[in-house]
């Protein structure tokens, strides 16, 4: 029988998927352990997560912002997100909501659930059997190697820490990057904004 003990996760990395150019990968880390859960997600959902994590303010609300506003309007609070199943390499999740003392569970794609979790600042959980199946255990030496390398993802998909890789943005100063970030946010180009944010974070990590 599957172990249904809930394990809390944190988002520890968000970057391009090396093997799938149009996709990204979000890496979730076990809060009280060393296991990581890498999940390949779409570009739109990656942008939605990055925008909320970096507290970027879009000119117009994204779909996930709209959904949060709707839940707030009807006095529904998102209490937690649970990644509750893994079938044929696909992760499944649910939103656990509270309305007038009643618990309501809503099925969701995992990427959408994570985008909502960062907006409500609510905990993310999974079960032991999912970490046993898809989790990756990293020790400290592996963590250091992966700063400029790659991590395995379920079904041999791969993820790199984009914030640690140099690219065309590396030639810009921090001031120029900050100005560029403001401009692309005004244009609602959130994919480029996420790349600029990664480059800024990489510089800060080095300083």
Token duo for residue 101: 């003392």
3-state helix, strand, coil in the chain (%, to 5): 40, 35, 25
What is 6-161's CATH number?
A: 3.10.690.10
Token duo for residue 141: 């030496």
Instruction: Report the alpha-carbon distance of residue 134 to residue 95 in Å, rounded.
Output: 21
Contact, 39 vs 110, CB < 8 A?
yes
Instruction: Report the alpha-carbon distance of residue 13 to residue 44 in Å, rounded.
Output: 16
Contact, 50 vs 41, CB < 8 A?
no
Instruction: Report the alpha-carbon distance of residue 44 to residue 42 in Å, rounded.
Output: 6
CA angle in degrees (0–180, nearest 5) for 37-43-48:
85
Instruction: Report the alpha-carbon distance of residue 3 to residue 165 in Å, rounded.
Output: 38
Give kind and range of the element (H or E) at residue 79. strand 77-87
207 contacts: CB under 8 Å, gap ≥ 6: none
Instruction: Report the alpha-carbon distance of residue 194 to residue 45 in Å, rounded.
Output: 12
Q: What ranges do the domains of the chain cover? A: 6-161, 166-207
Token duo for residue 23: 């996709």
Per-residue model confidence as pLDDT tens for the chain (207 residues) = 555 789 999 998 887 655 555 678 888 999 988 899 999 888 888 888 888 887 877 778 889 999 999 999 999 999 999 999 999 889 999 999 999 999 999 999 999 999 999 999 999 999 999 999 998 886 544 444 443 333 334 332 233 333 333 345 665 667 766 777 777 777 767 777 777 777 777 777 776
């Amino acid at each position: 029988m599957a172990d249904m003990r809930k394990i809390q996760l944190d988002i520890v990395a968000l970057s391009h998927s090396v093997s799938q150019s149009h996709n990204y990968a979000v890496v979730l880390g076990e809060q009280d352990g060393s296991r990581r859960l890498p999940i390949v997600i779409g570009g739109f959902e990656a942008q939605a997560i990055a925008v909320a994590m970096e507290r970027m303010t879009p000119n117009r609300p994204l779909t996930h912002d709209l959904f949060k506003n709707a839940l707030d309007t009807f006095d529904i609070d998102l209490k937690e997100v649970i990644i509750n199943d893994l079938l044929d390499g696909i992760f499944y999740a649910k939103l656990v909501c509270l309305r007038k003392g009643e618990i309501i569970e809503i099925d969701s794609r995992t990427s959408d659930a994570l985008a909502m979790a960062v907006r409500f600042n609510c905990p993310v959980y999974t079960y032991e059997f999912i970490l046993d199946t898809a989790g990756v255990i990293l020790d400290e030496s592996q963590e250091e190697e992966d700063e400029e390398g790659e991590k395995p993802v379920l079904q041999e998909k791969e993820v790199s820490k984009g914030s640690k890789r140099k690219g065309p943005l590396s030639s810009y100063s921090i001031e120029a990057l900050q100005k560029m970030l403001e401009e692309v946010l005004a244009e609602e180009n959130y994919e480029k904004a996420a790349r600029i944010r990664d480059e800024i974070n990489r510089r800060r990590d080095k300083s």
